Amino acid sequence: MSDEISLTSLIVSKGDKLTPKLWARMLRWVERNMAIRGDVLSVQTASGRIIRGRGTGGASDVSHPWQMTLSGPDQNGNYAVTFLRGLVNGVEPTIDGTPIGQADQNGNYPALTVTPANFGPDRLARIYVQCFLDKTYVVLSAKMIALATTPTALPWTRFKLIGFLVTDSAGSVTVQQMAFFNLSMAVPAKETNGLAGTWWGAGG
């Protein structure tokens, strides 16, 4: 199998599905083109910067919208998750009323508390952005939540999975990221009950 990555294989358009395979190819291309240590490389879309690298060639140097950082547990078994700024149709979600990308005067970003009750029988805690819509399916606001199970559909509300907290056999908890780009949500058939099907893509 060739080790070359064709640029045409990395082309995406608004609304395309960004599969794990495509994301892995994009990361490999970015890393291989960081030729000079210390250089900053940026990949941009019309909606703004989506990938940044410091030029060391390591995957850990690449940052992206929604990127989760985990800390904990505390004495009560709670974890805290912070996020790099991500958008849904241009709307920035909040945690306890504070936008996820807004630091306080000490440089601290709002953290989502994930309690032991947020882990399901499968030992996963599901991290979602919950979007609230008006009667024309426009995103009015959004917030970050942690759930033990897949959420039930609600009128005028949409949920998008951002990632998981995964508990391994030894009891250690790690992050599994599922969203890497600003999000675009569209409703092709705007039913009046608030439960119309939703298309998700890259954008925002």
Q: Quick one: what percent of the chain has pLDDT higher than 70?
A: 69
**What's the pLDDT tens digit per position in 49-90?**
344 444 444 444 567 899 999 999 999 999 999 999 999 999
CA distance 139 to 203: 14
Task: Assign 27 a pLDDT band (cuts: 50, 70, 90).
Answer: low
Instruction: Say how many C-beta atoms besides its own lie within 10 A of residue 34's C-beta.
Output: 19
Confidence at residue 191, expressed as pLDDT on a 0 to 100 scale: 81
**Cα distance from N-terminal residue to C-terminal residue, the chain:** 36
Confidence at residue 36, expressed as pLDDT on a 0 to 100 scale: 39
Confidence at residue 46, expressed as pLDDT on a 0 to 100 scale: 42
Alpha helices, DSSP H, located in the chain? 20-32
**What's the pLDDT tens digit per position in 136-168?**
999 999 999 999 999 999 999 999 999 999 999
Mean pLDDT of the chain: 81
| Whether the predicted pLDDT of 38 surpasses 90 | no
Task: Assign 203 a pLDDT band (cuts: 50, 70, 90).
Answer: confident
CA distance 12 to 9: 9
| Whether the predicted pLDDT of 44 surpasses 60 | no
